[in-house]
Chain A
Amino acid sequence: MRMVVKGNGAVAHAVRLSRAQVVSAYPITPQTSIIEELATMVARGELDARFIKVESEHSALAGCIGAASAGARTFTATSAQGLALMHELIHWAAGARLPIVLANVNRAMAPGWSIWTDQNDSLSQRDTGWMQIYCQSSQEVVDSVIQAFRVSEKVLLPTMVVLDAFFLSHTYEDAEIPEQAVVDSFLPALDLPHKMDLEHPAALGNLVFPDRYMEFRRKMDLAHDLALDVWDEVGREWGQLTGRPYGVVEEYRLDGAELVLVTAATAASTARPVVDRLRDAGVPVGLVRLRVFRPFPAAVLRSLLGGRRKVLVLDRNCSFGHHGVFHQEVKSALYELPHAEQPRVCGVIAGLGGRDITPDDLGEMLTGVWEGRIQDPVTWWDVLPARDPATAALAMG
């Protein structure tokens, strides 16, 4: 059924269609309407679930961990401070191999206290073992949340489905909301192999000595390797079911592209018309949108970017001390290409704290890189420049 939904509403519908059994969540702007809609669905009987209205995000994920361990399909949602508060348990959920799905509305970390979008919150969780998938539209949100349950329950790792604050969470778009029967055929009931079971009593989460810990961690890493293929397969299967296939990345006008913009989320939507405009102006530009970020699609990126002249990675985040996360990760993936095929990679950090990334910004970034005006490995976009960039004292005041 076609509906006009905002990103948050899309999450709620997808969770409903996925027949989540336990929702354990705490409000935080701009995620709140996800849980409000879910609460209403539960109250009206549209979603047969238990909704634990916890007293903090830390408890939100803990509630999911408890429920998932007992074999239920679980969901939660949060942002920024909430996600950071959950951090200890983000590690836990992955290590416990629980197929929890979490919708994170990307929001800037305080202080300064900000409700607007950037990606530091979700990217701070990149080392935890969760899968991460970055969406650009309400449609993609609906489809990705459902796929997330499927992939998570197959590889037994939790998935974070990420939406930009306001630009996606609160922007209304039209989307096809699938029929329940379609989702049911795509998503069988969860049967967690290590669930708590009176017939097979066991302890979960106890002490592991050095002689075994690494093996559990190795298995998590192997699951990530497997997951790349699973995301691919599932994306194709979804395409057959709904006419909307997905891959781990999205390619746009890569044929003959000598400069490729690599970015994620709504900035990629904004970039598409800019790519078209520049192509029309003769600039051989293309776009790769990062969709599945964890597991990191290194091989796919190498195949798409190897041999190109230049790559511009746009980060709406910064890993202080080592600049943009996507930039680092793309570069490190490309390092494995033979030297001759490695493109020149530049990074731009823009849009932190919800600052708008306009089509003009993107145009300037791309032409700047193409024409060699932007040479620095990393450029902070649209930020008042330092008078003396070498002065570290500026960091202090």
Chain B
Amino acid sequence: MAIDISSYDPRNLHLPDGEILSSGHLACPGCGAALGMRLALKALGPNTMVVIPACCWAVINGPYPFEALSVPVLQVAFETAAISASGIRAALDTQGKKDINVVAWAGDGGTFDIGFQALSGTVERNDDIIYICYDNEAYMNTGIQRSSATPYGAWTTTTPVETPKAEPKKNMVEIMVEHRIPYTATASIAFPEDFVRKVEKAKEIRGAKFIHLWISCPAGHKSEERSSVKIARLAVETGVFPLYEVEYGTRYTINHEPAFTDVSAYLELQGRFRHLKDEHIETIRRNIRWEWERLRAKEEMGRKLSLPPDVVRAAVGDGETTAG
């Protein structure tokens, strides 16, 4: 029978083999951060060093004397993920080891708030690191306090239901875009191939790369553990969290056209939004439309603009390269 058996592939996801994350780590059941790290490491491979500031992953990684990753990990002070990575990169450069991935893996607190300054410094210098912010939208490690990544309307322990978060989520991606770094992108654990592709792409670029990864947190979002991927998918499909990439602060590419499922489908799966009234949800809908209008306008505009002239961050002076 002339049947092509080789073309049979039941897999929905095609991801790199090999695991760098071990079982036994201390993440909560259903933790999006653990899944995110697993996927990121698949893309990064064993030639990687990871910096983890204070955040959930600092605990997930296990207490002394255990380690959860089979690559070197440096756990650092809360504010310092980006600069610690820059330091490692500088050291490896002096040792002539130019092909090791140096990755900062930080939560939203350590990126949007306390780590903001160091991050801005590192990317302004275009230090050759990959910075991945895994965003569960609050200070989850310390017990669910609000951060500037917490979305409008969300309950946290410091924005209780009487006064839920009134400010919109800070747009860290656009802030990174305005630093004109070679590569900025958003990603979601529900779109693993897209995330892996973006990390693999970042690996190949010299200079500062920033990836904003949306992750679920059953404990902090008050959602079911089993729904972590589903909720992450809805974040994208409702338009709450767009998937896009920006090169050199100019070229925008929207990677996924959402179905624009009504946002209530996303909100109702999370207890942190349970108190919202119709008018708040309507505000959220308007905000989604507004953000998408801007995003599409930027994509449109980006097509017409040329890339920055110093797009290849060439050596300045006597051969000083990045981190120097």
Contact = CB atoms under 8 A, between A and B. Distances in A.
* A, B co-complexed: yes
Interface of A: 21-22, 24, 42-45, 48-56, 58-59, 62-72, 74, 88-89, 92, 196-198, 201-209, 212
A281 B193 CA distance: 87
Contacts of A55: 117-118, 120-121, 124
Interface stretch (B87-95, B149-157, B237-245, B284-292): B87-95
Contacts of B127: 52
B91 A22 contact: yes
A197 B73 CA distance: 10
Interface of A is mostly: mixed
Given A49-B94, A196-B74, A59 B117 contact: yes
Contacts of B58: 206-207
Given A64-B87, A70-B91, A204 B74 contact: yes
B276 interface: no
Interface stretch (B176-184, B224-232, B316-324): B316-324
Contacts of B49: 70, 196, 198
A66 B76 contact: yes
B239 to A, nearest CB: 35
22 contacts: A22-B91, A42-B320, A50-B93, A52-B83, A54-B83, A62-B79, A62-B118, A63-B83, A63-B86, A66-B76, A71-B95, A196-B72, A198-B47, A203-B72, A203-B75, A204-B74, A205-B74, A206-B58, A206-B67, A206-B73, A209-B63, A212-B64
A50 B90 contact: yes
Contact of B121 (A42, A43, A48, A56): A56
Interface residues of B, number: 49
A21 B84 contact: no
A201 to B, nearest CB: 5
Q: Is the interface of B mostly helix, strand, loop or mixed?
A: mixed
Contacts of A202: 67, 72-73
A50 B94 contact: yes
A21 B91 contact: yes
Contact of A63 (B47, B67, B84): B84
Contacts, number: 173
A10 to B, nearest CB: 24
A81 to B, nearest CB: 15
A51 B93 CA distance: 11
B130 interface: no
A71 B97 CA distance: 12
B77 A89 contact: yes
B35 interface: no
B80 interface: yes
B313 to A, nearest CB: 15
Given A45-B318, A196-B72, A66 B324 contact: no
Given A65-B87, A198-B100, A72 B318 contact: no
Interface of B: 46-47, 49, 51, 58-59, 61-64, 66-77, 79-80, 83-88, 90-95, 100, 117-118, 120-121, 124-125, 127, 317-318, 320, 323-324
A203 B47 contact: no
A203 B120 CA distance: 26
B90 A52 contact: yes
Contacts of A201: 67, 69-73
A362 to B, nearest CB: 42
Nearest to B120: A55
Nearest to B81: A62
Contact of B88 (A49, A66, A88, A203): A66
Given A42-B320, A202-B72, A67 B59 contact: no
A146 to B, nearest CB: 19
Given A51-B324, A67-B88, A197-B72, A208 B83 contact: no
Given A55-B121, A88-B77, A70 B324 contact: no
Given A22-B94, A204-B73, A43 B317 contact: yes
Nearest to A72: B91
